[in-house]
Amino acid sequence: MFDEKIVSIRNLKKSYGPKEVLKGVSFDVFRGQIIGYIGPNGAGKSTTVKLILGIEEGFRGVIEIFGKNISDGNIQFKQKIGYVPEIAEVYDNLTGHEYLTFIGELYGLDFELADYKARELMELFGVGEVYHSRIASYSKGMRQKLLIISSLLHNPDLLFFDEPINGLDANSVMIFKEIMTQLAKDGKTIFYSSHIMDVVEKISSRIILLHDGKISADGTFEELKLQNKEGTLEEIFNELTGFNEHKEIGSKFVSVVKEV
């Protein structure tokens, strides 16, 4: 494990109108860590990531990336970041080749290198045959693979993945998990936001649980297991978020569905 601090957040607060979404979030992330960033819907996970990336503005507290305060106006740090958003806008009328070489060039790669890397990575991810097809014709999983590749073309040091395996088949998920492990071993730092608890449990070197705008757990899966009486991450999640009404809500839901 490396001891270089890659992301440092101090007392981060963010409100939308009267609603305080982040109520003072602090953590340090070190090089080579895979952070499973989890929490209930609307907890503020994407908001945290967007603030770190500078996509969203207007916060209180301090965010430092690669040791530099992001509020100092220098956006150089963005060149070393890769991002797969939960919902992404891609240019549907472009082919995979056109889109990826465009993204690669935006990140400063030569066209030839971007084209070579994009083609190789598409091949390796099992979608080489659609490299020259329009993105509009891609299946959900193919689009997701395109997004993952576009986030990695420039060999970034810090990655933010928001539900990256949405739509990927089981074999592709295995490849993706292996890619994450290898990247972390190479010293890349990964922020991984997902609701698929068994993958988060297996892949993360550290899990941060955000609940009600604050961090309610931070540690390795083993540490979280020791601190809580439950066994799987899904159960720990339910316990820490104080949720045990799934049976009751499920029954009520179905009884309303049956009302005709």
Ligand X SMILES: Nc1ncnc2c1ncn2[C@@H]1O[C@H](COP(=O)(O)OP(=O)(O)OP(=O)(O)O)[C@@H](O)[C@H]1O
Stretch of 40-48, 128-136, 165-173, 252-260 contacting ligand X, by CB under 6 A: 40-48
Q: Among residues 43 and 180, whose Cβ is nearest to ligand X? A: 43
Strands of the sheet containing 34-38, edge to edge, are 81-84, 158-162, 189-193, 34-38, 206-211, 214-219
Q: Where are the beta strands (DSSP E) in the chain?
A: 5-16, 19-30, 34-38, 60-65, 68-69, 81-84, 158-162, 189-193, 206-211, 214-219
Say whether residue 21 binds ligand X (CB under 6 A): yes
Contacts with ligand X in 146-205 (CB under 6 A)?
Answer: none
Stretch of 39-47, 91-99, 104-112, 251-259 contacting ligand X, by CB under 6 A: 39-47
Q: How far is the CB of 7 from ligand X (least distance, A)?
A: 17
Q: How far is the CB of 45 from ligand X (least distance, A)?
A: 3
**Binding-residue total with ligand X (CB under 6 A):** 11
Among 42, 67, 187, 250, binds ligand X (CB under 6 A): 42
Say whether residue 39 binds ligand X (CB under 6 A): yes
Stretch of 42-50, 94-102, 130-138, 149-157 contacting ligand X, by CB under 6 A: 42-50
Written as six digits, the tokens of 132 are 């020259």
Among 32, 33, 35, 47, binds ligand X (CB under 6 A): 47
Q: Among residues 42 and 67, whose Cβ is nearest to ligand X? A: 42
Q: Among residues 98 and 212, whose Cβ is nearest to ligand X? A: 212
96-106 helix and 111-124 helix, angle to the nearest 10 degrees: 130
CA 249 and chain centroid, separation = 29
Among 16, 91, 243, 253, binds ligand X (CB under 6 A): 16
Contacts with ligand X in 91-130 (CB under 6 A)?
Answer: none
Contacts with ligand X in 79-98 (CB under 6 A)?
Answer: 86
Q: Among residues 45 and 154, whose Cβ is nearest to ligand X? A: 45
Look up residue 152 and give its amino acid: L
Give the C-alpha separation, 194 to 69, whole Å.
27
Say whether residue 253 binds ligand X (CB under 6 A): no
Give the C-alpha separation, 36 to 31, whole Å.
14
Going by C-alpha positions, the residue among 245, 243, 250, 248 that lies closest to residue 39 is 243
Q: Among residues 46 and 189, whose Cβ is nearest to ligand X? A: 46
Q: How far is the CB of 34 from ligand X (least distance, A)?
A: 18
Identify the three-state secondary structure at position 171: helix
**Whole-number Cα distances in Å, 35 to 31, 44, 139, 152, 201:** 11, 15, 29, 18, 10
Say whether residue 46 binds ligand X (CB under 6 A): yes
Residue 184 near residue 32 (C-beta atoms within 8 A): yes
- List contacts with ligand X (CB under 6 A): 16, 21, 39, 41-47, 86
